[in-house]
Structure 1
Amino acid sequence: MKKSHLLLYLGLILSTPITSFSQNLSIQGKLNRSEIKTGEQAVIDLTIRTNNLPQTQFYLKEEAQKEAPYTVIALVPVDTVDISSRIKEISAKLVLTSFDSTLITIPPIVAKTPTDSAETAPMGLKVIQPEVDSKHPSNFKDIKAPWDVSLSLKDWLILILSSWIFWVVIAVLVGFYIAYRVFNYYQNKKANPTPQIQVRELSLIEKTEAALLQLEQQQLIEQELFKEFYSELITIFKSYLNESYSWTTTEMTSNELMKQMSSVELSSSEQEMLRLVLTEADLSKFAKYTPSSDNARLALSQIRQLVRELHRKGLHSSTDI
Structure 2
Amino acid sequence: MIKKIFLAFIINWIVSSPVLAQTLHDVRPPVKYPVNFWIFWICIFLAFLFIGAVLLYLKKKRKQVKTEKAMEPVRVPWEIALERLEALQQKQLLEKGLFNQYYTEVSDITRYYCEDRFAMKAPEMTTEEFLYALKESNQLNSDQKVLLKDFLTQCDLVKFAKYAPTIDEAKRIFNAARQFIVETKEEKNVEVKADGV
Is 1:299 matched with 2:168? no
Aligned-pair distance for 1:301?
A: 1.0
Is 1:290 matched with 2:159? no
> So what's the TM-score if we normalise by structure 2?
0.54
Measured in 2, the distance between the counterparts of 1:224 and 1:280 equals 17
Measured in 2, the distance between the counterparts of 1:273 and 1:203 equals 22
2:75 corresponds to which residue?
Answer: 202
2:23 corresponds to which residue?
Answer: none
**Contact 1:277-1:299 at 8 Å conserved across structures:** yes
Aligned-pair distance for 1:250?
A: 1.4
In the alignment, residue 159 of structure 2 is paired with which amino acid? K
> Closer, same or farther in 2 for the Cα pair 1:265/1:313, shift >3 Å?
farther
Is 1:212 matched with 2:85? yes
Measured in 1, the distance between the counterparts of 2:153 and 2:118 equals 23
Deviations 1:7-51 (A, max 9, x none): xxxxxxxxxxxxxxxxxxxxxxxxxxxxxxxxxxxxxxxxxxxxx
Aligned partner of residue 250 in structure 1, secondary structure: helix
2:185 corresponds to which residue?
Answer: 311
Greater RCO, CA 8 A, separation 6+: 2
Is 1:279 matched with 2:153? yes
Question: Which protein has the bigger strand share?
Answer: 1
Question: Which protein has the bigger helix share?
Answer: 2
Superposition pairs for residues 149-188 of structure 1, below 5 Å? none
User: Identical aligned pairs, as a percentage?
Assistant: 31
Aligned-pair distance for 1:313?
A: 6.0
In the alignment, residue 154 of structure 2 is paired with which amino acid? E
> Closer, same or farther in 2 for the Cα pair 1:288/1:238, shift >3 Å?
closer
1:251 corresponds to which residue?
Answer: 124
Measured in 2, the distance between the counterparts of 1:276 and 1:245 equals 19
**Contact 2:110-2:177 at 8 Å conserved across structures:** yes
Is 1:227 matched with 2:100? yes
For structure 2, the residue ranges without an aligned partner over 5 or more in a row are 1-67, 189-197
Aligned partner of residue 123 in structure 2, secondary structure: coil
Aligned-pair distance for 1:224?
A: 1.8
Structure 1 segments of 4+ aligned residues over 3 angstroms from their partners: 264-269
Aligned partner of residue 224 in structure 1, secondary structure: coil
Measured in 2, the distance between the counterparts of 1:271 and 1:199 equals 34
> So what's the TM-score if we normalise by structure 1?
0.34
**Contact 1:280-1:291 at 8 Å conserved across structures:** no
> Closer, same or farther in 2 for the Cα pair 1:264/1:304, shift >3 Å?
farther
Aligned-pair distance for 1:265?
A: 4.5
Superposition pairs for residues 1-321 of structure 1, below 5 Å? 198-262=71-135, 263-312=137-186
> Closer, same or farther in 2 for the Cα pair 1:203/1:272, shift >3 Å?
closer
Structure 1 range deviating more: 254-263 or 291-300: 254-263
